[in-house]
Chain A
Amino acid sequence: MSTPVYEARGIVRSYGSVSALQGAHFDVQPGEVCALIGDNGAGKSTLVRILSGAEQPDGGEILFEGRPLELSTPTDARSRGIETVFQDLALANHLDPIQNMYLGRELMKPGVLGRLGFMERSAMRDHGKEAFASLGATVRNFSGPVGGMSGGQRQAIAVARAAAWASKVIFLDEPTAALGVVQTKGVLDLIRRIRDKGIAVVLISHSMPEVLQVSDRVHVLRQGRRVAVYQAKQTNVEELVGAMTGALDGKEAA
């Protein structure tokens, strides 16, 4: 196996007396879709928060492109090309898709104008539209507020925003949880296209069929530990559920 672009070993994290992660492992290759599944309370969200820089682990180590890494803020992670889309999407509803895409990373005009706060609006608009198009995300209205768009559109905008800035890894927390069938298909297509660009995608999902549809590998977390890793093509829903609930003992895939 080649070096994982992002790897976690033995991550420990507790909240007071509650132990959320008890030595969890994780790894993802570039250009791979890894699903992270587990029952409620298994530690998935905690692991993602730690890997995206929003929290610090109590123990264990994180390796990025083979080298040890310590993240103190999400900005640290972002500067390395690691982006995260949480379930709330973190979109500013009154702003349009382009403004959301460039939020916090606006292109400023050169020189004095830039320091006064003037932005390259048309450049951002053009590049933004290109970024959306290259991912196949069709945004119907680039100047309307994202708050007025459907759930599927908003999800696509949030995912495409992360994908546009992520150069290495992108974490998606339940991206299709609130979507209908057609919209879910659209998001899954988007995920495949991101993977095809060479970015590693880590997907948390409760939907086994989706997981099997789009992932390359599936990591199962239970009670704060990774209990199994499966190749998606070689497993099925029953086996996954079994690993999640502990009916089967953990086994590592080859």
Chain B
Amino acid sequence: MSVQTQEPTAAEVEREARTPVSARVMAGLRAQAMQIVLVWLVIVIVFSAMSPDAFLDAANFRNIAISVSILAVLGVGTTFIIITGGIDLSMGSVLVFSGVVSSMVMQRLGDGQGWGVAIVGILVALASGLMWGLINGFLVAKAKVPPMIVTLGTFGAALGLALVLTGGIDLRAAPDVLVDSVGFGDVVGVPSLVIIATVVVVIGIVALHRSRFGLHTAAIGSNAEACRRVGINVDRQLIKVYAMAGLLAGLAGVLNLAFFRSTTIAGNSLTNLDVIAGVVIGGTSLFGGVGTVFGTVVGLLIPATLRNGFVILGVEPYWQQVVVGAFLITAVYFDQVRRAAANRGTTRRSALSRLTHRNRKDV
């Protein structure tokens, strides 16, 4: 005897009759990440049609990739955090702070040049980011302060400390080797920044979808209490997730220093929102439990490509903000639709398709 759900409906029987291959393809395409890639391709096609010489150009795509690289590094960490149901507003400030301490240390080491100095600088930046990440994680997990409040606090604190350390004046000390190879160097024609970001993204994808660390991250976001009951140390996992994100923000800080040859203290105040928007557009739910790193990368590519295309087309800057905002709202809307459909069971149709197929008898 078997434990069955309710008797299959006519629609279900119909669906089971479809061939397995097409079903799998459909399932793949239905995945939000693939949908988002298609949206990005549509954007690329439209811009290419409207401005083929300027837009559809290898150098232009190179620039788009570079502009997304640092955000992608931040995006990997943020994806993990948002999957746990948390959020991180502090990443921009941690980036700046890490760049500041890194630059300060490198300036005082020897003559401030050479790979030895650069490596120390990188390690200092990573350590600084890790420190802020641990602070965030500890306050969220142990002190049980809501993530938004914690990271709002560290957003201010990290930036404030950076201002104290520098007197408000950007530091511009970075070894030439760092700027030339990491900031502006190429490896077989691909910008180093892009390669570093790609490596981070790939590691993020593997960690999230193949490792126990990623599985537990999603499990905690889905039902933290259930995790506690089965013996998962939820607090430790949360601290690890926030620490990882902090480490990545530190890495982003040194990449930023290498690329701009400046700690850009005044900038990066909107970085957190840009990254969170990318994560959400990419299909990760703000409510936690599910998400993809790949989606985040595409979600970051979309606003970057839009901005690039709009500048090339000469669209007023304000319109750019409006469109990116519209994308964000649309993405969250589709997330809601998906959640509602999942809650009602996959055998039911979504509200959207019920709306568009009003006359079909089987809905």
Contact = CB atoms under 8 A, between A and B. Distances in A.
A in complex with B:
yes
Interface of A: 74-75, 78, 86, 88-95, 99, 103-106, 108, 116-119, 121, 136-138, 140-141, 144-145, 147-150, 152-153, 156, 180, 182-183, 186-187, 189-190
B198 interface: no
Contacts of A93: 222-223, 289
A119 B222 contact: no
Given A92-B223, A92-B226, A119-B215, A186 B3 contact: yes
Given A90-B223, A92-B223, A140 B5 contact: yes
B314 interface: no
Contacts of A190: 3
B255 to A, nearest CB: 25
Contacts, number: 112
Given A94-B290, A116-B211, A118-B211, A152 B227 contact: no
Contacts of A91: 223, 226
Contact of A117 (B211, B219, B227, B342): B211
Contacts of A92: 218-219, 222-223, 226-227, 289
Interface SS of A by simple majority:
loop
B4 A104 contact: no
Nearest to B214: A117
A75 B3 contact: no
Contacts of A75: 231
B231 A153 contact: no
A90 B229 contact: yes
Given A95-B218, A119-B212, A119-B215, A105 B230 contact: yes
Instruction: Report the 3 A-B pairs with minimum CB-CB distance, sorted nearest first.
Output: A104-B230, A186-B3, A117-B211
Given A94-B290, A118-B210, 12 more contacts: A89-B226, A91-B223, A91-B226, A92-B219, A94-B222, A99-B219, A104-B230, A118-B211, A138-B4, A145-B342, A149-B5, A186-B1
Contacts of A89: 226
Task: Give the interface centre of B214, B225, B342 by most chain A CB atoms within 10 Å.
Answer: B342
Contacts of B341: 148
A189 B231 CA distance: 29
A120 B110 CA distance: 49
Given A117-B212, A144-B346, A145-B342, A103 B3 contact: no
A180 B218 CA distance: 31
Given A90-B230, A117-B207, A152 B5 contact: yes
Contacts of B9: none
A90 B6 CA distance: 23
B345 interface: yes
Interface size class of B (residues with CB under 8 A): 20 to 34
Contacts of B289: 92-94
B163 interface: no
B345 A149 contact: yes
Given A93-B289, A138-B4, A182-B4, A103 B219 contact: yes
B346 A148 contact: yes
25 contacts: A88-B226, A90-B223, A90-B226, A90-B230, A91-B226, A92-B218, A93-B223, A94-B218, A94-B222, A95-B219, A99-B215, A103-B219, A103-B227, A106-B212, A117-B211, A118-B211, A136-B1, A137-B3, A141-B346, A144-B346, A148-B343, A148-B345, A150-B345, A182-B4, A183-B3
Contacts of A137: 2-3
A105 B2 CA distance: 26
A158 to B, nearest CB: 10
B147 interface: no
Contact of B5 (A90, A117, A183): A183
Interface in B1-49: 1-6
A125 B231 CA distance: 21
B232 interface: yes
Given A93-B223, A148-B346, A153 B3 contact: yes
B222 A95 contact: yes
Interface in B332-355: 341-346
Contacts of B213: 117
Interface in B202-240: 207, 210-215, 218-219, 221-223, 225-227, 229-232
A119 to B, nearest CB: 6
A147 B288 CA distance: 13
B82 to A, nearest CB: 13
Contacts of A145: 290, 342
Contact of B3 (A86, A141, A189): A189
Nearest to B230: A104
B216 to A, nearest CB: 8
A78 B230 CA distance: 9
